[in-house]
Structures are given as structure tokens and as C-alpha cells.
Amino acid sequence: MKTKAAVLFEVGKPFEVVELDLDGPAQGEVLVRVDAAGLCHSELHLLSGALPTALPIVGGHEATGIVEETGPGVTKVKPGDRVVCTFVPACGLCRYCSTGRQNLCVYGDVPDGPLWDGTYRFHLDGRDVGSFRQLGAFSERLVTSERSIVCVDDTVPPEKAVLVSCGVPTGFGTATETGRVRPGDTVVVFGIGGIGINAVQGAVHAGAAHVVAVDPVAMKRETALEFGATHAFADAAPAIERVRTLTGGEMADQALVTVGEVDQEVVQSAQAAVGKSGTVVITGLANADFEIHAVSDWLLTREVDIRGCIYGSMNPQTDIPRLLDLWRSGRLRLDGLVTATYTLDRINEGYQDLRDGKNLRGVVVFD
């Protein structure tokens, strides 16, 4: 079949929207007609080359849509089901899945490009085209493993369902799971984008007494306050001083780093923000060769924990429906997260808006 998709052919160049050939689903795979796809900051790393991958590749790792066809052996879904795609697969059998750590499933270690069997579903003039995170969400249709989809209630609007594909669980879980925020804690969130705004929501949901947002963009600071942050600052230094005042010098319990690109300056600010037994969570991406530096005496004498985070340490197969239940009950906000929607032909405009700080989250809506 044919599908229109946004393809990256060369690092440093924009996506090109072209028509591709798409194979049908093989063993254990599902064909999804995509309704909506999220514009995540991760693709900016893909475009710049900071996230190395084989090219050409169809971008996009956040999507929702309707199952059109299933391959042999598929038992999870049937044609007509609404699904949310997740860039973190879950086989349910490996040591990580079976111990409640689906975000670390061994099938997530497969390189970007081919699917799990080493073959491709997208093609252009006889040339294989890869799928980012084994999804390739910037396409009218995609084929992926049933491990990478979660069935959700078909009454959930696409523009809401797509948000729980990546941004909401990654941010929310950064606070509640990886950061382990508890009632009464003081939390600092560095970077209020599609991930950081949901880290704010997660910290509020967990009962934090103080949630301090740090972002240079005024719109993002204002939105953080609307979503429950108690304080918002453009720079780290005044935020850290306010934390010192709020806590009587004991400093924050958690510093959550959710900036679009992690550098040593924000890591040092996060370390300065936390007190004894505090936790620094690194959720944002960095260049492949970036190294995190910490003073060993500071780590030892203060027992500070520095933790990496993928997908908010969440289990997509159970936590995506759980987050939608929180939304239905009014305890999680999805309204207000999407700043703008785009057609696929305007995808590069959407990413320029993200670079320019205009969007919390942009979404591509398919006809």
C-alpha cells in the first residue's frame, strides 16, 4: 500500500514529506491508521544528529490510531480497536517486564531503523526506509509489533490519546516513579516543555508542598503555575535561593531535569538545588558524548542520588490506561497541553515553533 510520511534523509536537513510503499504486517505485527502524532523534542536531536541513527528514517514516536489489520499470531488487538503507540515495547516475558519494569524491556534495545526481525516495512523506490523507535509515527499508516501498542477506550479523542503515548507518562513518572516524590516534598523542575509540564503535574499529584518551575520562556512559566506549580523562575539562581528560603536551608528533595537538551550547567544547577538524601533525575536527552560530572565528596557526604529516567520508569501497558483514568476523573489535565496542531505537510513549521519556544506540545493531525 502507499502512505505519505515525513522522512529524514540527511542530518541537518528538514523532514521531507514523500509517498512511501508500506508492507503489510508480518508475524506479531499490526497495521495502524494514524490519527494524531506528537511533535517531541527527541526528533530535534534526530534532525541535528545528536541522536545518531541509520538514514533514511520516518520520524515520530508518539501516535494514536485505529488498527486496520493484524498479522499472524496477534492476540492483543483486532481491527477497529483504538490504540496508543509506545516507543517502549513490552514483551511481558523478559526479566524487566516480568518484574514490573516494562520501560526497560529488552526489545527496546533494537537499533532504530528495522523492526524487531531485522527487516523494514517502509520503502522508497526499492530502498529500505527505517522506522524511528520501530514506529515511524509521522506517517498516515505504520506497521509495528503488538508489543509497541496499547489498546485504549475508543471514546478517547485522538488529540487526548496521543498525549499519553510519551510526553505525559514520561513527565508524570519522572516525578512519581523515578523521583519518588512524596507528600510534603519540595521539587524543582528544570525545563517546562512537553515533559516538564507533566513532571509538574506528577509532583502536584504526589502531594509536593512546593513545586518550583524553571524555564526562560514566560508562556511556559505561566502554564506551569496554571498546572499547579507554586513558584516559577526564568533562571536557576533565583529559583535555588527561593528553595533555600522555603526549606530553611535544607533544599529540595528532588530536582527533575526535563530540558530539551541537557548540559553541564543545568546538571550543576540541579545538584545545587537538592539537599541531603536528595534525588536528581535526568530525563532530558543530551549529545551522545555528554558526561555528567559530580563531586564525589558531595555525593558521599550528602547521599545524593542521581538517576537516569526513560519513559518515567512507567509500565506502558498498565500505566497508559491508568493515566487516562486519572484524566477522566479530573485528576490529570490533558486540556491545555497542546499549544498548536499541524498537518503533516507543516511538520517542519511545527518543529521550528518548538525550537522558538512557542509550543508546549505540537500535534500532527491526520485527515
Phi–psi pair at 128, nearest 5 degrees: -70, 140
Helices (H) and strands (E) in the chain — how many of each?
10, 18
Phi–psi pair at 206, nearest 5 degrees: -80, -10
Give the integer Cα–Cα distance in Å for 23 and 187: 47
Q: Is 61 a catalytic residue?
A: yes
| Distances, alpha carbon 7 to alpha carbons 2, 15, 54, in Å | 14, 5, 12
Catalytic residue, from 97, 105, 166, 309: name it. Answer: 166
Pair 195, 258: CB distance under 8 Å: yes
DSSP string over 206-271: TT-SEEEEE-S-HHHHHHHHHTT-SEEESSHHHHHHHHHHHTTT--EEEEEE--SS--HHHHHHHH
Whether cis (ω within 30° of 0) applies to the bond prior to 321 is: no
Q: Is 166 a catalytic residue?
A: yes
- What's the grid cell of residue 362? 505540537
| Distances, alpha carbon 24 to alpha carbons 18, 69, 138, 324, 349, in Å | 19, 8, 17, 30, 31
Pair 282, 307: CB distance under 8 Å: yes
Q: Is 123 a catalytic residue?
A: no
Catalytic residue, from 42, 131, 139, 269: name it. Answer: 42
Longest Cα–Cα distance in the chain: 65
Give the integer Cα–Cα distance in Å for 183 and 254: 12
Q: Please give the order of strands across the beta sheet that includes 186-190.
A: 231-233, 210-214, 186-190, 252-257, 274-282, 305-308
Per-residue DSSP letter, 366: -
Pair 246, 187: CB distance under 8 Å: no
Sign, CA torsion 1/42/148/79:
negative
Catalytic residue, from 45, 85, 97, 148: name it. Answer: 45
Catalytic residue, from 40, 85, 105, 309: name it. Answer: 40
Helices marked H in 257-315 = 264-273, 296-302
Q: Is 42 a catalytic residue?
A: yes
Q: Is 205 a catalytic residue?
A: no
Catalytic residue, from 61, 131, 139, 269: name it. Answer: 61
What amino acid positions are annotated as catalytic residues?
Answer: 40, 42, 45, 61, 166
